[in-house]
Structure 1
Amino acid sequence: MKAELALVPTEAAEEIRSERPDGRKTQDKRDPRLPIADLFSEERARQLWESLPDEHRQDHFDSSNMPDDYRRAFVEQVSNREKGWFSQAITFTGLPEPMIWELAWFVDQQVRDGYAINPARFNRLRRGLVLALEYGGPQARSAQSITALSNEQWAEEVRAAAVRTSLPSGENIATLVLHSVKHIQDRLAYAYHDGEWWRLNLWNPTLDRRIPQREHEPSGRHVANFAHLTTDWLREAVKWWLSVQLLTEQYVWSSVKSRMDTMKRFQWYIDQAGCTGPQLVSSPEQLRTWVRGFVDHLNSHSTLSGVNKGGKLAKNSRRSALVTVEAFYRWMYDNRAEAVSVLADPRWGRLDSTYSVLFRLDDKPRRTNQMPDDMALEDEVISQIAAGSGLLAAPKDEGGLDDRQAFHALMLLIRTGRRMNEVLMMDFDPLLPLATTGPKEGDDGAGFVARLKYQQTKITGGGPPTIPVDQEIVDIIRVQQEWAREFITSQGAPEGTEPPYLFLQTRQNRLGLRPYASATLHHRLGNLTKMLAITDSVGRPVAVSKTHTFRHTRATDLINAGVPIHVVMRYLGHLSPSMTMHYAKTLSTTAEREFLRYKKITVDGRTASIEPSDLYDMLHLDQRADRVLPNGWCMLPPRQVCAKGNACLTCDKFVTDASHRDELQHQLAQTEALITRRQTQFTARHGEPMGEENIWLAGRLTETRALAKVLIALEQIGVHDDGQLRAVRGAGVTDRPGSIPGQPKESIS
């Protein structure tokens, strides 16, 4: 019977580490909770064998029985250098039957996933296993499955057998067995494991297809290792929490790593401060002190990697850690009854409502979204990058990096403003026809000719992820498509096969099933940065590898070209204007130009007496959005506070222009309707209408008179405007010095 997968002690859950030849420690990403030998089941091995197509259930493959898909996947090896014989044959003969089943299933999985099979290496692996089975120790000689020994034990048995048989190549075969057996066992471990996938400490979506993922997942090859959480109750609860979030699509796979990083910080604090289980402390009175200690721990913690290595954690990182821990505990509190059953730990049932809000508002730093000044690149810098980008595609013997894919990807990043993964995970044929008619006769070709579909991997919701593109972008995509077709054909894919992605991983990707890795492109662009050594107008080095600057630059260019904000939102794939404005940096000259397009009118219906450029400076519209009103602007100096409530229409600091005409007319109609309604009610109650001395009516009549003056002035400007920008004082100036002819005008500072 197969042994049950049981919880292991904290010590066993720690990362397994081994010594490298250079003395450094390496992490073995084998899940310590997968006791591979205990997972073996002959019945399950037979099921794996029977799941294969008939032509794949063989103990050897050669020219007489090789399936077509295997023939294309098996790399031809020279068998006789003098005569030039080639062989694709492999054999599993001489091994126990369950081991043959396992190897046959493994080969089938490798071929399905687009990997190549090296017959020479595979036959040497088989030779090493047979050697250990025949001349190894008692444990090896009795083995029925590749899982019977660890990969290290198999390698040692091969070495010992080689010594006994005086095999000169024993060490080389042992090294091959060490690495190959581990890869085989990693696949078999998940195939043999039939428990709940989330209970494993190592989540590997490449090998465990039960883990939920999006169709296009940028982090699809990442592995989540929960062995970092060495506290049993925390580790099991976090795994359950994250698994439910994945299953319900509250989180995506790429979110798991960031949550894991946060919970590792929480684990570090538990190791430092200690705790009493899920409730953290023994009495409710101690909880605030314990929690505050975690906040102080984050505030004093130093970063271990990145550009800020050795410095303090950024505000956003600290806030994210607190928000994640609080979200975890809130969810555990809401599901505490189920947690007792699922995790077999009654302590979770003792959580009270205090744990749903662990941190106070002032514990969490305010989120900072201020972008550096160099996020939007200058035109000259973009030109230099484009001019030097050919080094990416140039051959290495000409001083280039010999990567045409990186060159094409950079061209698309610059021209479209997409995120890196949105380009690298693009469909093989991402072009769609325009929704509108194409370019007219005589068009110079600079217009849009197609729509480009990209993979929206960050934001869910909104419209379809497409943008209009010109002929230049279409040409780049066509050239990349041709390169991708040639590549997979050279790798052994059937003639006419089209890969799912436009940009392809170039190693072990025979069918093009895996996209070009973002880490590879980042490395290429880092090398290009060193080769070009570009600086901006103030001498700052420009990092081409910071691809998000191309997105900021594109957003800024669109805003400054006068493209409406809702169109820019749609182009960038954003869900709100605030997201777009976070990316776009509007030039001060553009903001001033747009403001000065309108003539400003005061509440008494006159043109503002100050120059519009001075008015713009006074209002600081690029910084003082709180001075923008629904029907105009407030000229109150930024340091002063308004004490008039909503009496803007009767305030001498109020100005407006023709862009607010509809709002002003709507406000006048509403006010007049309100006066009529109140007069009717007043007359019905008191037998006579309100007089103009009534304080409420007097205020409303003042508003209507002010609105009427403003609208009349706007109409007059529309008819008699001579195009000159003039300005006079704001509302209320008729009661102040300077408004009566002959009196000196009061200056505004």
Structure 2
Amino acid sequence: MKSEPVVRAVADAAPVPAPRTPERKRQDKRDPRLSVARLFSEEKAKLLWDSMPEEHRQDHFDSTNMPDDYGRAFRRQTINREKGWFTQAISFHGLPDPMIWELAWCIHQQVAEGYAITPERFQELRRGLVLAIEHGGPQARSARSLTALSHEDWAREVQGAVTRNGSARNRRLVTHVLHSVKHLQDRLAHAYHEGEWWQLDVWNPGLDRRIPQREHEPWGRSVANFSQLTTNWLREAAKWWLSVQLTTERYVWSSVKSRLDHLKWLQWYIDQVGCSGPQLVGLPEQLRPWLRGFVDSLNSHTVMSGPNKGGKLSKNTRRSTLVTIEAFYRWMYDNRAEAVSVLGDRRWGALGAHHCVLFRLEDKPRLTNQPPEDMALEDEVISKIAAGSGTLATPKSEGGLDDRQAFHALMLLIRTGRRMNEVLMMDFEPLLPLLTTSKQEDKEPDGFVARLAYQQTKITGGDPPTIPVDEEIVDIIRRQQEWAREFIAAQGAPEGTTPRYLFLQTRNNPLGMRPYASATFHARLGALTKTLSISDSVGRPVKISRTHTFRHTRATDLMNAGVPIHVVMRYLGHVTPSMTMHYAKTLAVTAEREFLRYKKVTADGRTAEVNPSDLYDLLHLDQRADRVLPNGWCMLPPRQVCSKGNACLTCDKFVTDASHRDELQHQLGQTEALIARRQAQFTARHGEPMGEDNIWLAGRLAETRALNKVLVALDQVKVREDGQLRAVRGAGVVDRPEPRSTMRRQEPTV
């Protein structure tokens, strides 16, 4: 059976615009105008009216007929002492019946979705519409529905009526009508449309409940606008392909949006060079040159906006674009017979096997997924962020940002290592009992006390994600719950209402049904970054808004602490060890960078001659953990046996750096105290102190001399900002000749 006629955007009837690069889409104002005038009928409008409860089917609302749920949702300005709430009247008098039905239904939908209603805005809208109908042009005077004119045409009619009628505040009224009608027409388009949901050129999950989505979707309020694919066959096929992937759960909503962005690059190239329909070219032998031109255009394209403005597209962007286009064509080839039926375009049946592999390996850049060197934050940096995070909750009058929610969310990010949306989309009550056989009174005060359930927004399947948490995290969550209850109570929610989420959107969210927006959280952390101006140990500025660094830091800390990789894997919510090993690479890079940050000195205070990179490799070959000392490292070759016991401070194979200074200073103090005690004991027994030729004292004095030399040398060493330091070494005995570089040390004989 042939599908329903596909709904087009108004823009489809206009001439094809000049080629526009996809990365500029954020600069373009969204114009998802659906041709709702063709969808409207009075019968459909009456069905919307009849679908509402009887008490909601009114052409005006005031203190005499206000339903309870409307009374709580309407923003209150005047007192109604009889019903105990503040309210303001709304009237649709003077408008045609279908328009009244539409406005009443839109209000009903907004209240049901937990939005607040501002009566004065609807009153302003009614005033503008009445002016247009009474004093506008022929189209406006004959209009019976909000869908009769586009939102721009309504604004122009209101402008003309205001001018002719001599009414004041014309600019504000026209702007208000423009934006209000635009929003209401979006709602009505999805309500009036009777075909498959994917046939619409604009997919809006917030208005169309037919669109498949996960229960907790971070991008659930974003819109996918296919009208920017101006080539008809490409737009309709893309909608069908992505709808199937979404319905079968191969893609989630965020994947749909990214794949649509990739297909816009194909549209961009078609606008430049043209094509021969779905087959792209007329003859198979022409396909490779056409695609080669597309690849060359991507490689040479100069970015027009964003942080990389003036540069080239990243390797990941180019590769993902090619992979998406190839996957799209492979799927269309596999389903070409059905495509002819569903899309009503016989040309899809002409696809050949050569459309399954469009690009060669050399066309696709290799992925560059190496994390930056500063992804794992230093302990001192984390301490500074935690100490300054109170600025988020401090009132603006005191120089803060007045956002307690952002403060609580940041504390959870630092302490748990969750992804940003896993925290922001937590259920209101995310704490579960900790399953354990130990008695409550036997638990340590700083041990785990509960399990924290979070929203796994990146990986689907598996057990419900939880992690064990301590009392400090439980306290943060309880404080945020108190704030959320106070917030919805102040917004007029009925007593006993429980918000859906722990962190709440603060605008137009009286029932707590929508989570705190990630964009708002990024903005708060960006402001905190500027306020604190934190730098790491090598002078790099720390961007707190890069929230994934807290996840890398937590993973690195767990691995540093020796936690088994399968436990770290479960804690991070990974499904494969390879995902967790991504953080192990970060740990290795961090460890090497920390090792190379300091110059290496030997027991006599001289800088070592071995390059720090070579020394790092020597110490880590064959898992030589036995060469790592409490106060430095031993450079003895792997098969050599140390015969000096613990006399490292008199050995020419001993090296250390500034990271061990505290331990070395402590060792010097202990050694000097030990010498003083033994001297006192010796004097009491023999009547005179030990001489410097005493075998025991000579060894200890050698150690103190070595320690003093090392400490003086470390104090004189300055760390270069680039972290690329030349390792240094020296002999334990000053007069010892340097060995030839070609000589090999003899193996010890047994």
TM-score (norm 1): 0.75
1:248 matched to 2:248? The reply is: yes
- Which residue does the alignment assign to 2:337? 337
* Contact kept in structure 1, 2:9 and 2:32, CA below 8 Å: no
Per the alignment, in what secondary structure is the counterpart of residue 329 of structure 2? helix
- Which residue does the alignment assign to 1:535? 535
Q: Which moved more, 1:275-284 or 1:70-79?
A: 70-79
Q: What one-letter code is carried by the residue in structure 2 that aligns with 1:126?
A: R
Provide closer, same or farther for how the CA distance between residues 158 and 403 of structure 1 changes in structure 2, counting only shifts above 3 A.
Answer: same
- Which residue does the alignment assign to 2:451? 451
Cα distance in 2 between the residues matched to 1:76 and 1:389: 35
Provide closer, same or farther for how the CA distance between residues 15 and 282 of structure 1 changes in structure 2, counting only shifts above 3 A.
Answer: closer
- Which residue does the alignment assign to 2:134? 134
Provide closer, same or farther for how the CA distance between residues 5 and 617 of structure 1 changes in structure 2, counting only shifts above 3 A.
Answer: closer
How many Å apart are 1:432 and its aligned residue?
A: 0.3
Alignment of 1:389-428 (within 5 A): 389-428=389-428
C-alpha distance after superposition, 1:546-579 (max 9, x if no partner): 0000000000000110100000000000011110
Alignment of 1:474-553 (within 5 A): 474-553=474-553
Provide closer, same or farther for how the CA distance between residues 26 and 164 of structure 1 changes in structure 2, counting only shifts above 3 A.
Answer: farther
- Which residue does the alignment assign to 1:72? 72
How many Å apart are 1:203 and its aligned residue?
A: 1.2
Cα distance in 2 between the residues matched to 1:589 and 1:86: 59
Q: What one-letter code is carried by the residue in structure 2 that aligns with 1:205?
A: P
Alignment of 1:486-635 (within 5 A): 486-584=486-584, 585-587=586-588, 617-619=620-622
C-alpha distance after superposition, 1:242-277 (max 9, x if no partner): 011001111000101211121112222222333212
- Which residue does the alignment assign to 2:271? 271
How many Å apart are 1:178 and its aligned residue?
A: 2.2
* Contact kept in structure 2, 1:15 and 1:28, CA below 8 Å: no
Cα distance in 1 between the residues matched to 2:203 and 2:552: 35
How many Å apart are 1:317 and its aligned residue?
A: 2.1
Provide closer, same or farther for how the CA distance between residues 414 and 161 of structure 1 changes in structure 2, counting only shifts above 3 A.
Answer: same
1:97 matched to 2:97? The reply is: yes
Cα distance in 2 between the residues matched to 1:98 and 1:165: 25
How many Å apart are 1:5 and its aligned residue?
A: 5.3
5+ residue gaps, structure 2: 19-24, 593-614, 626-637, 639-744
C-alpha distance after superposition, 1:427-470 (max 9, x if no partner): 00000011214665364411000000000000113332100000
Per the alignment, in what secondary structure is the counterpart of residue 545 of structure 2? coil
Q: What one-letter code is carried by the residue in structure 1 that aligns with 2:358?
A: L
- Which residue does the alignment assign to 2:190? 190
- Which residue does the alignment assign to 1:351? 351
- Which residue does the alignment assign to 1:724? none
Which one has more relative contact order, counting CA pairs under 8 Å at least 6 apart? 2
Q: Which moved more, 1:136-145 or 1:513-522?
A: 136-145
- The CA RMSD measured in Å over matched residues stands at 3.0
Per the alignment, in what secondary structure is the counterpart of residue 467 of structure 2? strand
1:378 matched to 2:375? The reply is: no
- Which residue does the alignment assign to 2:259? 259
Cα distance in 2 between the residues matched to 1:545 and 1:145: 46
1:162 matched to 2:159? The reply is: no
* Contact kept in structure 2, 1:98 and 1:144, CA below 8 Å: yes
How many Å apart are 1:304 and its aligned residue?
A: 3.8
Per the alignment, in what secondary structure is the counterpart of residue 215 of structure 1? coil
* Contact kept in structure 1, 2:8 and 2:201, CA below 8 Å: no
How many Å apart are 1:7 and its aligned residue?
A: 5.2
C-alpha distance after superposition, 1:215-256 (max 9, x if no partner): 100001111111222222111111111011001111000101
Cα distance in 1 between the residues matched to 2:532 and 2:32: 44
* Contact kept in structure 2, 1:13 and 1:227, CA below 8 Å: no
5+ residue gaps, structure 1: 18-23, 592-611, 623-634, 636-743
* Contact kept in structure 2, 1:450 and 1:468, CA below 8 Å: yes
Q: What one-letter code is carried by the residue in structure 1 that aligns with 2:187?
A: R
- Which residue does the alignment assign to 1:211? 211
- Which residue does the alignment assign to 1:29? 30
- Which residue does the alignment assign to 1:308? 308
Provide closer, same or farther for how the CA distance between residues 267 and 63 of structure 1 changes in structure 2, counting only shifts above 3 A.
Answer: same
Per the alignment, in what secondary structure is the counterpart of residue 233 of structure 2? helix
Cα distance in 2 between the residues matched to 1:313 and 1:161: 49
Cα distance in 2 between the residues matched to 1:443 and 1:534: 37
- Which residue does the alignment assign to 2:280? 280
* Contact kept in structure 2, 1:30 and 1:186, CA below 8 Å: no
Provide closer, same or farther for how the CA distance between residues 618 and 77 of structure 1 changes in structure 2, counting only shifts above 3 A.
Answer: closer
Per the alignment, in what secondary structure is the counterpart of residue 452 of structure 2? strand
What percentage of aligned pairs have identical amino acids?
A: 70
Provide closer, same or farther for how the CA distance between residues 443 and 144 of structure 1 changes in structure 2, counting only shifts above 3 A.
Answer: same
Q: What is the total number of aligned residue pairs between the two structures?
A: 596
- Which residue does the alignment assign to 1:143? 143
* Contact kept in structure 2, 1:559 and 1:568, CA below 8 Å: yes
How many Å apart are 1:355 and its aligned residue?
A: 1.2
* Contact kept in structure 2, 1:393 and 1:404, CA below 8 Å: yes
Q: What one-letter code is carried by the residue in structure 2 that aligns with 1:292?
A: R
- Which residue does the alignment assign to 2:684? none
Q: Which moved more, 1:479-488 or 1:156-165?
A: 156-165
How many Å apart are 1:318 and its aligned residue?
A: 2.0
Cα distance in 1 between the residues matched to 2:620 and 2:472: 42
Per the alignment, in what secondary structure is the counterpart of residue 421 of structure 1? helix
How many Å apart are 1:93 and its aligned residue?
A: 2.0
- Which residue does the alignment assign to 2:13? 12
Cα distance in 2 between the residues matched to 1:171 and 1:297: 45
- Which residue does the alignment assign to 2:609? none
Provide closer, same or farther for how the CA distance between residues 160 and 8 of structure 1 changes in structure 2, counting only shifts above 3 A.
Answer: closer
Per the alignment, in what secondary structure is the counterpart of residue 278 of structure 1? helix
* Contact kept in structure 2, 1:438 and 1:449, CA below 8 Å: no
How many Å apart are 1:125 and its aligned residue?
A: 2.0
Provide closer, same or farther for how the CA distance between residues 615 and 253 of structure 1 changes in structure 2, counting only shifts above 3 A.
Answer: same
* Contact kept in structure 2, 1:77 and 1:119, CA below 8 Å: no
Q: What one-letter code is carried by the residue in structure 1 that aligns with 2:180?
A: S
* Contact kept in structure 2, 1:15 and 1:227, CA below 8 Å: no
How many Å apart are 1:517 and its aligned residue?
A: 0.6
- Which residue does the alignment assign to 1:50? 50
Cα distance in 2 between the residues matched to 1:9 and 1:57: 32
Q: What one-letter code is carried by the residue in structure 1 that aligns with 2:344?
A: A
Q: Which moved more, 1:210-219 or 1:273-282?
A: 273-282
Cα distance in 2 between the residues matched to 1:202 and 1:40: 17
- Which residue does the alignment assign to 2:221? 221
How many Å apart are 1:44 and its aligned residue?
A: 0.4
Q: Which moved more, 1:565-574 or 1:95-104?
A: 95-104
C-alpha distance after superposition, 1:368-401 (max 9, x if no partner): 3221111000000000000000000101111101
Cα distance in 2 between the residues matched to 1:586 and 1:424: 27
How many Å apart are 1:15 and its aligned residue?
A: 9.4
How many Å apart are 1:745 and its aligned residue?
A: 5.9
Per the alignment, in what secondary structure is the counterpart of residue 441 of structure 2? coil
Cα distance in 2 between the residues matched to 1:279 and 1:377: 51
How many Å apart are 1:345 and its aligned residue?
A: 1.4
Per the alignment, in what secondary structure is the counterpart of residue 510 of structure 2? coil
How many Å apart are 1:403 and its aligned residue?
A: 0.6
Provide closer, same or farther for how the CA distance between residues 323 and 450 of structure 1 changes in structure 2, counting only shifts above 3 A.
Answer: same
* Contact kept in structure 2, 1:202 and 1:223, CA below 8 Å: yes
How many Å apart are 1:16 and its aligned residue?
A: 9.7
- Which residue does the alignment assign to 1:663? none
How many Å apart are 1:98 and its aligned residue?
A: 1.1
Q: What one-letter code is carried by the residue in structure 2 that aligns with 1:77?
A: Q
- Which residue does the alignment assign to 2:462? 462
Cα distance in 1 between the residues matched to 2:86 and 2:425: 37
Cα distance in 2 between the residues matched to 1:309 and 1:363: 23
Alignment of 1:82-121 (within 5 A): 87-121=87-121
- Which residue does the alignment assign to 1:606? none
Provide closer, same or farther for how the CA distance between residues 271 and 407 of structure 1 changes in structure 2, counting only shifts above 3 A.
Answer: same
